[in-house]
Chain A
Amino acid sequence: MILVWLILIPFIGGLLCWQSERWSEQAPRWIALGTMLFVLVISVVLWWGGDFSLPVAGGSQWILEWRAPWIPRFGIEIHLALDGLSLILVALTGFLGALAVLCSWHEIAERIGFFHLNLLFILGGVVGVFLALDLFLFFLFWEMMLVPMYFLIALWGHSGSPGQTRIRAATRFFIYTQASGLLMLVAIIALVFVHYSNTGELSFSYDVLRNADVPEPLAFWLMLGFFIAFAVKLPVVPFHGWLPDAHAQAPTAGSVDLAGILLKTAAYGILRFALPLFPEQSQAFAPVAMTLGLVGIIYGAVLACGQQDIKRLIAYTSISHMGFVLIALYSGSELAIQGAIVLMVAHAFSSAGLFILSGQLYERIHTRDMRMMGGLWGRIPVLPGFTLCFVAASLGMPATANFVGEFMILFGTFPSAPVTVVIASIGLVLAAIYSLLLMQRVHYGREYRTGPLAGPDAREYGMMLTLVVFTLAVGLYPQPLLDTTAAVAGPVAELFNNGADLIVRAGEVN
C-alpha cells in the first residue's frame, strides 16, 4: 500500500497547493516542499529497512509489490513494484523535487498555486513511471508526466528571441514525446496481442509478457518501438531536437526536473522494459545503440561548445552524458550498467546544480547570454566557486560521482567494445572543453558590467552545498548505491550472455 501512497502523495499535495493559494502566497511553496520531502523520507526509510541482496532462486525480485485489478476485461491491473533501482530513482525524484520547489521560491511570482500543482503532478507521474509494472499503467504514467511539463514551459517559461518562444518550445516538446509515446503504445498493444494469439490470455503484466514468444522479425520491430520511445526521451541524437529548446525556455524548476529526472525515466525504461522484454533483439541491436551513444557523446559536446545561451550549453552536455549511459546499457557488463546507474544519479546532481546556478545568475543579471557575462568572479561572491564544483563534476573530475559513473562505464565496456571506449574517451577531452568554456565565458575575463552583485542567501547556499556534498559523497563512497542496485544490474547484464567475458578473463589470473 505504501507504493500507492508514494504516487498519491504528490498528486494530493499538488491539489492542496492549488487551493492553498487562496490563503497565502507562501502556502503552496511550503506544502510542495513538505510533499516532496515526505516522498524523500518515505523512500529513505524504505531504503534503510530494505534487503537488496540477490533474490534466492524462485523468490521475488521485488522488495515491495502491490496489485489490484483495474480493467479485468483486458487484463489490465494496477501493479506496482519496487526494487533497488526504482527505490533510488524515487528517492532522487523526491530530492530533486524538493530542490525544484526551493529554486523557484522567488522566481515564480504568478499563479503560484497552479505552478506547484503542475510541478507536483510531473513528479507524481515520474514516481508512477518508476513503480508501474503493468505496461498499460506504465504508459499511462509515461504520458501523464508530459502534460504538466507542457504547461510548466508554456506558462512560466522564458521567451528568448522571437523565433524561440516558450510556446513553441513547449509544443515541440509535446509533439516529440507524444509521437514517440504513440510508437510505444503500438508496440505494447502488439506485444499483448501476440501473446493473446499464442495463449488466449489477455494481459498487460510485465511478468507475463516477459515470457511472451514473439516471432521474428516482429519482435525486432516491437523492440525498436520501445527503443525509439525511450531514445526520444533520453535523448539520443537525432531525436534530441526538443531538449535544448525545452531547457532554454523552461523555468529553472522545469530544467531541473527535466534534466534531473525526466531523462532518467528513459534510461530506466530501457533497463526495465526494452532490454528484459527483448533480450536477443536488444543484443543484436546493441552495436547500433552503442554507435548512437557515441554519436550523442561527440555531437552533444561539439554543439555545447557552440552555444551562447548558458542553459542551451548545459542542455547539450546532457545529450553528451546520456550517450555514456546508452553505451553502458547495451554493453552487457554489470560493471558498466552499475556505472550507468551511478552516472544517472551523478548527472542529476551536477546538471541540477548547473541549472540552478544559471537560474540564480539570471535572477541577478537577467540574461542567459554568455556574451553578456564575463568577469563574474569578481562581482559575485561564492557562486563562481560552486560553479567550478559543478563544472568539475560535469567534466568527470575524480572524487565526484560523475567520475565514478563514467569510469565504471568505460572500464566495464572496454573488454567487449574497446573501439567504442576509445572513441567515447574523446568525449572526456570534449567534456573538459565545454565545461571550462562555460567557466571561461561566465566567470573569467573582463567584466561585462561593473558593480558587485548579491551573494547567495541561505536558501541558495544550502541547495548548492547539499548538491556538492552529495556529489562528493557518491564520488568517494558509492558502495551503498551500488549495493542497492546490484540485484538489478546483474540480471540485466546476464541477458547478453556473452557479455560476461570480463569476469572470465580476469578470472584466469587468479
Chain B
Amino acid sequence: MMALAVTLSFLIPLAGTLVLALLAGRLGPRASTVVGVGSVGLAALATLWAVLAHNGVTQGVTLWNWIEVGEFQPTIGLAVDGLSLVMMSVVTGVGFLIHLFAAWYMTGEEGITRFFAWMNLFVFSMLLLVLGDNLLLLFLGWEGVGLCSYGLIGYYYRNSANGRAAFKAFVVTRIGDVFLALGLFLIFMELGTLDIATVLARAPVLWEQGGATANLAALLVLGGALGKSAQVPLHTWLPDAMAGPTPVSALIHAATMVTAGVYLIARLNGLFLLAPDVMLLVGVIGAVSLLLAAFAALAQTDIKRVLAYSTMSQIGYMFLALGVGAFDAAIFHLVTHAFFKALLFLSAGAVIISCHHEQDMRRLGGLWRKLPVAYGGFIVGGAALVALPLVTAGFFSKDEILWQTMAAEQTGLLIAGLVGAVLTGIYTVRLILGTFHGQPGSDHAHHPVPGTHLFTHHLPLAVLAILSTFIGAWLYPGLGDLFPTSPGDAVHTGHTLLQVLAMGAAIAGLLLAAWLFLWQRDWLAGKVRQGVGARLWMVWHNAWGFDALFDRILVRPWQLLVKYLRVDLVNLVMNLPAIAARALNAGLVRSQNGRLRSYALVMVFGATLILLTLVLMPGGAA
C-alpha cells in the first residue's frame, strides 16, 4: 500500500506534465489549470495516504535497476522514512496550495499550459529528490528541479533580462552541482556504492573520523548544497530568480527547492559527522549568509527581493543548525519556513496582481484597507518570520536552532543568530510599512483590484496563515529518532535564558524598526541620502557587491576568452600548411614568366652554382 501511495504521489504530477506537454495548444487555459492544479492535489492526497500508512519503519521500493555495470548499480528505488514523508508533505501540501493560488495569479497570462507543465514537472522532480534511495537518483531530482527552476524563471521570455536571470540561476547552481557530482565520484570510488543507507553504514567503518577523505567528501557535498540553497558564495542567483511569476518564487525559491541543500546535508548526516571541520564550516557559512542576506534585505525596494534575501537568511539559520549537528532543528525550521515564506510570497503575489504588476515599495503603500486579505497574510507571515514569541510557528523552530547552537557552545554562531533575529525584525517591519502603510506611491497603488476568488485566492492564503501560527509548529512530528543526537539533548540548563534572549532579540528588532520607520523617518531618509549612510545603502542594496566581484573575476575574463578564441586559433595554426603551399605556388608561378632571357639567366646561374659546389666540396671533382 505504502509503495503504491508513494509511487502515485510522483507519477501523478508526471502524468500532469505529459498531458500538458503533449496536448499543448489543444487544451484551453481552464482545462490546463484543472490538470495542473488537480494533479498536485491528487499527489497531496497520495502523500496523505502514505503518511497514514507509515508505521515508523523505513520502507524501500525498488522500481527497476537503472544501470548495472560491475559494482555500479544505482536503482530507480525509493526509500520512505519520516524525513522523506515530511519533505513530501511540504512539497505536495504547500505545493498544492501554491498551485491553487497560481490558478488565480496566472489568469489571463499567455502560456498557462507551459506554466503548469513546468510546475508539475517540478513537483515530480522534487519528490524524486526527497525519495531517492541512492545518490544518483537524488541527483536526478536535484538537476530536474534546477531545470524546472530555469524554465519558470524565464517564463516571461520576452524580456531578455528574465532569460539572463534564468541562465544565471542555472549556471550558478550547476557549479554547485558539479561539486556534488565530484562528491558522488569520490564516494563511489571509496565505498563502492551509491545507496544512501549503505553509504552511511560503510563510511564510519572505512573512513577515519576527521580524515582527509571524509573531509573532502563532505566538502564536495557541501558545495552542491551551497549552490542549490543559495548560500555564500553561490547565492547570487536567488535575488535575480525573482524574475519568475510569484507562485514560482513561493514554491521553488522559498518553500522547496532552495531547501534541498538542507535536506541533502540532513540526509547524509553520518558523512558530515565524520568531518567535524566541515560541519563547523557549514555553520559558519550559515551564519555569514544569514547576516549578509539580512543586511541586504534592509536595503531593497522590490518586495520580492526583500523576500528573496529573507529566504537566504532563513536558510542560513538552517545551515547554522546543521553545522552544530542539530539536524532535527534544521528540518523543523525548513518546514515552518516553508509555511510562512510561502504565505509571504503569495501575499506579495496578491499585492502585485492587484496593483497591476507593481512590486516596487516606493510606488506602493497605503494598501492595508484596500487589500485586507493580503495585508493579513503579510502580518501573520511577517510575525512568523520575525519569530514573534509563542503564537507563531517561526518562533518555535528558530528558538530550537538558537538553543541547539547555545548548547553546542558555539557562542559566535549564537551571536550571529541573535543579531540576525534583530535584523529580521527591522526588515520585516520596513517591508510591511513600505507596502501597506503611508501614502500610495503610484496610480496602481491608488486603485488596487483586490482578489476576490474564494478558492483560489482566499483559501490558500488562509490555510497557510493558519499553518504559520503555532499550529504549524505542532504539526511537525519531530524526527529525533532518525538523526544522531542533537547537542541540546545532553544539556539541561540555560534554555530559559536563551528563550528570553531570543524573544528579546525579536522584540528589540520590532521596536527598533518602529522607532526608525515611524518616529525617525525623516532623520533616516536624510542619513541614507548622503555620506556613510548612502554608501552603506549602496553596499547593502547590491548585497555586498558579490555580483560585481564575480562579474570582474569570472564573467568578464570568460567573455574575453570566448571573444578571442571565436576565430578558432588552433584551427588557424592547422591552416599554416595551406598558406605555405599557396606562398610556394605564388613564388614558382612568378618564375614561369615566358621570357627567354630570364630562363637563360636562371640556367647560367644554376649551372654556376652546381659547378661551384662541385669544385669547392672537399674531396670533390677538382
A contact set with B: CB distance below 8 Å: 237-241, 244, 299, 302-303, 305-307, 334-335, 338, 374-375, 377-378, 381-382, 385, 388, 392, 397-399, 403-404, 407-408, 410-412, 414-415, 418, 421-422, 425-426, 428-429, 432-433, 436-437, 440, 443-447, 455, 476-479, 482, 486, 502-503, 505-507, 509-510
Given contact pairs A305-B562, A307-B566, A241 touches B571 in the complex (Cβ within 8 A): yes
Interface pair A415/B171, CB less than 8 Å apart: no
Interface pair A392/B147, CB less than 8 Å apart: yes
Chain B's nearest CB lies how many Å from the CB of A454? 13
Partner-contacting stretch, out of B65-73, B292-300, B472-480: B65-73
Interface pair B69/A429, CB less than 8 Å apart: no
Chain B residues contacting A437 (CB-CB under 8 Å) are 167
- The answer to the question of B528 belonging to the interface, with a C-beta cut-off of 8 Å to chain A, is no
A408 to B74 alpha-carbon distance, docked (Å): 11
A238 to B575 alpha-carbon distance, docked (Å): 11
Interface pair A238/B570, CB less than 8 Å apart: yes
Chain B residues contacting A479 (CB-CB under 8 Å) are 65, 67-68
- The answer to the question of B239 belonging to the interface, with a C-beta cut-off of 8 Å to chain A, is no
- The answer to the question of B504 belonging to the interface, with a C-beta cut-off of 8 Å to chain A, is no
Q: List 7 A-B contacts (CB under 8 A).
A: A411-B185, A428-B181, A432-B171, A433-B171, A443-B157, A444-B158, A479-B68
Chain A's nearest CB lies how many Å from the CB of B71? 4
A419 to B574 alpha-carbon distance, docked (Å): 29
A239 to B182 alpha-carbon distance, docked (Å): 30
Q: Mark B514-534, 1 if CB is under 8 A from A, else 0.
A: 000000000000000000000
Interface pair A503/B71, CB less than 8 Å apart: yes
Which single member of A239, A307, A436, A446 contacts B160 (CB below 8 Å)? A446
Interface pair A399/B144, CB less than 8 Å apart: yes
- The answer to the question of B150 belonging to the interface, with a C-beta cut-off of 8 Å to chain A, is yes
A415 to B185 alpha-carbon distance, docked (Å): 8
Interface pair A398/B167, CB less than 8 Å apart: no
Interface pair A444/B154, CB less than 8 Å apart: yes
Which single member of A385, A408, A421, A444 contacts B157 (CB below 8 Å)? A444
Which single member of B158, B170, B574 contacts A445 (CB below 8 Å)? B158
Q: CB-nearest residue of chain A relative to B114?
A: A385
Given contact pairs A238-B574, A407-B181, A446-B160, A338 touches B69 in the complex (Cβ within 8 A): yes
Interface pair A482/B71, CB less than 8 Å apart: no
Q: What range describes how many residues of B lie at the interface?
A: 35 or more
Please list the 6 inter-chain residue pairs (A to B) with the smallest Cβ-Cβ separation, ordered nearest first: A506-B192, A444-B163, A306-B566, A445-B160, A398-B140, A241-B571
B contact set with A: CB distance below 8 Å: 21, 24-25, 64-72, 76, 110, 114, 136, 139-140, 142-144, 147, 150-151, 154, 157-160, 162-164, 166-167, 170-171, 174-175, 177-178, 181-182, 184-186, 188-193, 202, 206, 561-563, 565-566, 568, 570-571, 573-575
A444 to B68 alpha-carbon distance, docked (Å): 39
Interface pair A428/B174, CB less than 8 Å apart: yes
Q: CB-nearest residue of chain B relative to A433?
A: B171
Q: CB-nearest residue of chain B relative to A299?
A: B570
Given contact pairs A238-B574, A306-B563, A505 touches B189 in the complex (Cβ within 8 A): yes
Chain A residues contacting B143 (CB-CB under 8 Å) are 397-398, 403
Interface pair B171/A429, CB less than 8 Å apart: yes
Chain A residues contacting B178 (CB-CB under 8 Å) are 425-426, 428-429
Given contact pairs A306-B562, A445-B158, A502-B71, A421 touches B182 in the complex (Cβ within 8 A): yes
Chain B residues contacting A447 (CB-CB under 8 Å) are 158
Instruction: Give the number of residue pairs across the A-B interface with Cβ within 8 Å.
Output: 165
Given contact pairs A238-B574, A411-B188, A428-B174, A375 touches B157 in the complex (Cβ within 8 A): yes
Chain B's nearest CB lies how many Å from the CB of A392? 6
Chain A residues contacting B193 (CB-CB under 8 Å) are 506, 509
Interface pair A414/B185, CB less than 8 Å apart: yes
Chain B residues contacting A381 (CB-CB under 8 Å) are 24-25
Chain A residues contacting B24 (CB-CB under 8 Å) are 381-382, 385
Which single member of A240, A307, A375, A486 contacts B69 (CB below 8 Å)? A486
Interface pair A408/B67, CB less than 8 Å apart: yes
Interface pair A335/B206, CB less than 8 Å apart: no
Other CB < 8 Å A-B pairs besides A425-B178, A509-B202, 9 of them? A378-B158, A381-B24, A382-B24, A382-B25, A412-B72, A428-B178, A429-B171, A509-B192, A509-B206
Chain B's nearest CB lies how many Å from the CB of A390? 13
Interface pair B174/A429, CB less than 8 Å apart: yes
Chain B residues contacting A425 (CB-CB under 8 Å) are 178, 181-182
Q: CB-nearest residue of chain A relative to B138?
A: A398
Chain A residues contacting B568 (CB-CB under 8 Å) are 241, 244, 303
Chain B residues contacting A398 (CB-CB under 8 Å) are 136, 139-140, 142-144
Interface pair B147/A415, CB less than 8 Å apart: no
Chain A's nearest CB lies how many Å from the CB of B182? 6
Given contact pairs A239-B574, A410-B181, A482-B67, A445 touches B144 in the complex (Cβ within 8 A): no
Chain A's nearest CB lies how many Å from the CB of B224? 12
Interface pair B561/A502, CB less than 8 Å apart: no
Given contact pairs A415-B189, A445-B160, A399 touches B562 in the complex (Cβ within 8 A): no
A237 to B574 alpha-carbon distance, docked (Å): 10
Chain B residues contacting A482 (CB-CB under 8 Å) are 67-69
A334 to B25 alpha-carbon distance, docked (Å): 46
Chain A residues contacting B142 (CB-CB under 8 Å) are 398
Q: CB-nearest residue of chain B relative to A436?
A: B167
Chain B residues contacting A440 (CB-CB under 8 Å) are 160, 163-164, 167
Chain A residues contacting B184 (CB-CB under 8 Å) are 411
Given contact pairs A407-B136, A444-B163, A446-B160, A238 touches B571 in the complex (Cβ within 8 A): yes
Which single member of B170, B190, B191, B575 contacts A432 (CB below 8 Å)? B170
Interface pair B76/A388, CB less than 8 Å apart: no
Q: CB-nearest residue of chain B relative to A237?
A: B570
Which single member of B69, B159, B175, B189 contacts A408 (CB below 8 Å)? B69
Interface pair A507/B174, CB less than 8 Å apart: no
Interface pair A404/B67, CB less than 8 Å apart: yes
A60 to B554 alpha-carbon distance, docked (Å): 55
Interface pair A476/B68, CB less than 8 Å apart: no
Chain A's nearest CB lies how many Å from the CB of B341? 27
Interface pair A303/B150, CB less than 8 Å apart: no
Interface pair A238/B139, CB less than 8 Å apart: no
Q: CB-nearest residue of chain B relative to A489?
A: B69
A403 to B67 alpha-carbon distance, docked (Å): 12
A510 to B70 alpha-carbon distance, docked (Å): 13
Interface pair B150/A385, CB less than 8 Å apart: no
Chain B's nearest CB lies how many Å from the CB of A397? 6
A479 to B68 alpha-carbon distance, docked (Å): 7
Q: CB-nearest residue of chain A relative to B570?
A: A238
Q: CB-nearest residue of chain B relative to A243?
A: B571
Chain B residues contacting A443 (CB-CB under 8 Å) are 157
Chain A residues contacting B177 (CB-CB under 8 Å) are 428
Q: CB-nearest residue of chain A relative to B154?
A: A444
Chain A's nearest CB lies how many Å from the CB of B240? 14
Chain B residues contacting A503 (CB-CB under 8 Å) are 70-71
Q: CB-nearest residue of chain A relative to B185?
A: A414
Chain B residues contacting A399 (CB-CB under 8 Å) are 140, 144
Report which residue of B142, B144, B160 has the largest number of chain A beta carbons within 10 angstroms of its beta carbon: B160
Which single member of B72, B171, B182 contacts A436 (CB below 8 Å)? B171
Which single member of B66, B110, B139, B151 contacts A477 (CB below 8 Å)? B66
Chain B's nearest CB lies how many Å from the CB of A438? 11
Given contact pairs A378-B157, A411-B185, A444-B154, A302 touches B561 in the complex (Cβ within 8 A): yes
A40 to B42 alpha-carbon distance, docked (Å): 42
Interface pair A302/B565, CB less than 8 Å apart: yes
Q: CB-nearest residue of chain B relative to A392?
A: B147
A492 to B64 alpha-carbon distance, docked (Å): 28
Interface pair B573/A238, CB less than 8 Å apart: yes
A505 to B191 alpha-carbon distance, docked (Å): 8
Chain A residues contacting B72 (CB-CB under 8 Å) are 335, 408, 411-412
Which single member of A302, A334, A382, A397 contacts B70 (CB below 8 Å)? A334
A407 to B114 alpha-carbon distance, docked (Å): 30
